[in-house]
Amino acid sequence: MFSLAGKNVIITGAGSGIGQAVAVLFAAQGAKVNVLDLDEKAAEATVAQISAAGGDATAFACDVADVDGVKSLFADIAAANGGRVDILVNNAGIAHVGNALTTTEADLDRLYRVNIKGVHACAQAALTHMTVQGGGVILNMCSIAAQIGLADRYAYSMTKGAVLLMTLSIAKDFIKQGIRCNCIAPARVHTPFVDGYLAKNYPGQEAEMFEKLSQAQPIGRMAKPAEIAALALYLCSDEASFVTGCSYPIDGGAVNLR
- CA dist 53 and 26 (Å) reads 12
DSSP codes joined into one string, 132-174: HHT-EEEEEE--GGGTS--TTBHHHHHHHHHHHHHHHHHHHHH
**138, 152 contact by CB (below 8 A):** no
Cα–Cα separations (whole angstroms), residue 111 to 4, 161, 225:
32, 12, 22
Helix/strand/coil for 109: helix
> For residue 110, which phi and psi values (nearest 5 degrees)?
-65, -45
Q: How many CB atoms lie within 10 A of CB 105?
A: 7
145 CB contacts (<8 Å, ≥6 apart)?
153, 156, 157, 160, 161
Active site annotation includes 197 = no
Beginning with the edge strand found earlier in the chain, give each strand of the sheet holding 136-141 in spatial order. 56-61, 32-37, 8-12, 87-90, 136-141, 179-186, 247-250
Catalytic hit among 156, 202, 234, 248:
156
Backbone angles phi, psi at 56, to 5 degrees: -115, 115
| Non-local CB neighbours of 17 within 8 Å, separated by 6+ positions | 189, 191, 192, 193, 225
Residues labelled as active-site residues? 156
